[in-house]
Structure 1
Amino acid sequence: MNRFPIWDSHIHLNQYPKEKIPYYLEKWENGGVEGIIAVATDLRSSYELLEWKQKYPDFIHIAMGHHPEQELPVEKDLLDLLALIQMESSKIVAIGEVGIIHYRQSELGVNDLNGYIELLKIFTETAKKLNVPIILHAVHDKTEIALQTLLEENMKKAHFHWFKSSKETTKKVIEAGYTVSFTPELTFRERDQMIAKQFPLTQILLETDGPWPLEGNFNGRIPEPIWIRESISTLAKLKKLTEEDIVYVLNQNISHLYLESI
């Protein structure tokens, strides 16, 4: 299967050791990775990804946004980020990573989600104006909140990364025609496998979310896009298709969602 090109649909490239990024990029490309969707988490990382995009324009495709698992941006930073997105719109393929806080909600003392919902609406409007998809961090019970926001805003193209939600909300995401992605934990996590069975293959992508650590067989190792081949093997078994068929559809999905607007 190494002759078939693969994509990592969600990776935090700038969070890898800076001095090792050229090594990793060469390794991944030599390993059959055709490209990556590198996502920002704030204004600073957006600038960093622009620098890497300039050096590797055909391999790195970037998204800009403000990750929800942190405090809301101050007004100046938000305005600067929105201005940067507008100025560099020809270099981005999506708005992201954005969404609704979940894991750090208690830690940051967030009792009212309205600020995060309003920020998501701003990013949704930006994505619509630029005619690019939006990349979402919205897990468990927050998926429903993000989903309803997208539907209210008439957002057509959305990608829920590292998807995990209830059966009821999963059904709604499928009906909305949105895309979801799974990390290599798909290879062993029953929850992910059950969700992947529910979704049509045309609404699925694969990712690493690297360098965020994974569990199971991947524990203690730095995630790399090449691992996605293991996810492809699992997905082929779940969908009762060949690995070649899986790769073909996944690449079509990437092209349709991210590359047609370039």
Structure 2
Amino acid sequence: MIDAHIHLDWYKPEDQAIILRDLEKRSIDGVIAVSSDLMSCNNVWELHQACPRIFPAFGWHPEQKMPSEAELDRIVQLIREHHDSLAAIGEVGLPYYMKREDYTLDSKPYLNILERFIKLAKEYHLPIVLHAIYEDAETACDLLEKHQVTKAHFHWFKGLDQTVKRMISNGYMISVTPDCVYEREIQLLIDKYPLDLIMVETDGPWQFEGPFSGEMTHPKMIEQSVRKIAELKCLSYKKVCDTVTQNTRDFYLLKDNY
């Protein structure tokens, strides 16, 4: 299986080493390692160089203060330099949680940055990985449709039924985290979303509750996510495992024999 979204560069070196070891042992087929800022892009690239089953994505995470123009320009330059080797542009999106903490936050600059990355995704025919939930997902859909970008991955998505229907109609992918094992909101989303548009992720090193409480978030946790999806969809584990893995390979254009 493939972890469709992980912040591998955020892990402590000793925890990175555990995950790298398991990648080398093929306990995990691969991970999509997203970036959060310029330093993160460089660190993710180094991890990719160390292990070919770490598939890099470059971007700027929206839940932080605005970057300098120089930093943003450098991230764009890195995408242009390495686009042939990138799995995607991401993680990019809109600052939903920051806006909840500060209702005076001006979203326009963040919107401009997101649109810049969407234009790059279109230019280089790269998938885009989005941090966009609830009302922000509607805004992201507006921009994707405006620029006719169809290869969009809404990670750890949460939203209204009307947004879910819009995303399904457009063929946008979602990915669910191990919280699907115990979070009813995510289980309801899995019920509604077609299996052919679902992937699994950890968003590590984010830590989970329930049966995962106190554990380091490891890509192997996605096995339990797959089991829960199989239960909710009334399908076999093998069917769901094969489908979500192939979904991820197809969406990110990963070779079957990497």
With normalisation by structure 1, the TM-score equals 0.93
Q: Which residue of 2 aligns with 1:172?
A: 166
CA distance in 2, matches of 1:143, 1:106: 15
Residue 9 of structure 2 is aligned to residue 14 of structure 1? yes
1:144 and 2:138 correspond: yes
RMSD: 1.7
> 1:216-256: CA deviations, max 9, x gaps?
22222221110111111111111111111111111211111
- Secondary structure of the residue aligned to 1:96 is strand
Question: In the aligned structure 2, how far is the partner of 1:154 from the partner of 1:72?
Answer: 26
* Structure 1 unmatched runs, 5+: 1-5
Q: Which one-letter code corresponds to 1:175 in the other structure?
A: S
Gaps of 5+ in 2: none
Q: Which moved more, 1:218-227 or 1:132-141?
A: 218-227
**CA distance in structure 1 between the partners assigned to 2:23 and 2:225 by the alignment:** 16
Q: 1:234: which partner in 2?
A: 228
Show the counterpart of 1:254: 248
Secondary structure of the residue aligned to 1:222 is coil
The CA deviation at 1:27 is 2.7
User: In the alignment, what sits opposite 1:24?
Assistant: 19
What is aligned with 1:3? none
Q: Deviations over 1:183-240 (max 9, x none)?
A: 0011111110110111110100000000012222222222111011111111111111
Supply the distance in 1 between the matched residues of 2:79 and 2:172 (Cα, whole angstroms): 23
Distance (whole Å) between structure 1 residues aligned to residue 182 and residue 225 of structure 2:
10
Does the 8 Å CA contact 2:32/2:55 hold for their aligned counterparts?
Answer: yes
1:150-189 maps to which residues of 2 (within 5 A)? Answer: 150-189=144-183
1:41 equivalent among 36, 46, 51: 36
* 1:181 aligned counterpart, secondary structure: strand
Q: Is the 8 A contact 2:202 2:218 kept in 1?
A: yes
Runs of at least 4 residues of structure 1 off by over 4 A? 106-110
Partner of 1:60: 54
Count of residue pairs the alignment pairs up: 256
Identity rate, percent = 37
